[in-house]
Amino acid sequence: MKYSSLCYITRGDEYLLLHRIKKSDDENAGKWIGFGGKFEDRESPEDCVKREVYEETGLTLTEFSYRGIVTFVSDRWETEYMHLFLADGFTGELKECDEGVPEWIKKTDFAALPQWEGDRIFISLMESDCPFFSLKLEYIGEELTGAWLNGRPLTLPYNI
């Protein structure tokens, strides 16, 4: 079981995203995602997201909210519990990242970029008035084959 955090940083009508193009063995290769990574010993979800965002961007989060937990089940990778955050306050200067290229992207342009299909679901939930949620996403290869929100199945494809 893998435990991780993931944060989508916002600035007005933009997301700061990471285009994962630098590592050849990256399960997220070619995709646009938020910032985060695996928990270290004794970290809370909040500790992990603050550390990971700082390590990957050089930014210190000052305002962020814990929006939900996502359970990823895959035929290729270990099951992952990902703690999901949305941030709209930060300080510092953006730096280069060894995992990809960080870039500010208009929220309206994000949907057209390569990303995991399930990410579209949780980004929609995060940006809505949806309270804290639990989302389970099941994949075969890179195809989303099942999704459950708070224990109830979602109809696929899930249109946002």
Can you say how many angstroms the Cα of residue 136 is from the centroid of all Cα atoms in its chain? 14
Whether residue 67 contacts residue 132, with contact meaning beta carbons closer than 8 Å, is answered with: yes
Percent of the chain with pLDDT over 90: 84
pLDDT given for residue 54 in this prediction? 98
Query: Which residues sit opposite 68 in a β-bridge?
Result: 84, 133
Neighbours of 5 (CB within 10 A): 27
Judge whether residue 159 has pLDDT over 80: no
pLDDT score recorded for residue 129: 79
pTM of this structure: 0.93
Report, as an integer, the average pLDDT of 29-45.
Answer: 94
98: DSSP letter: T
Please give the angle made by the CA atoms of 89, 33 and 126, to the nearest 5 degrees.
55
State mean pLDDT over 63-83. Answer: 96
Least confident of 27-36, 55-64, 72-81, 138-147: 27-36
Residue 160: predicted pLDDT: 54
Phi-psi region of 21 (alpha: psi -120 to 50; beta: other; left: phi over 0): alpha
Is residue 123 over pLDDT 80? yes
Mean pLDDT across 34-44: 96
The overall average pLDDT reported for the chain is 93
- Token pair belonging to 67: 């929006």
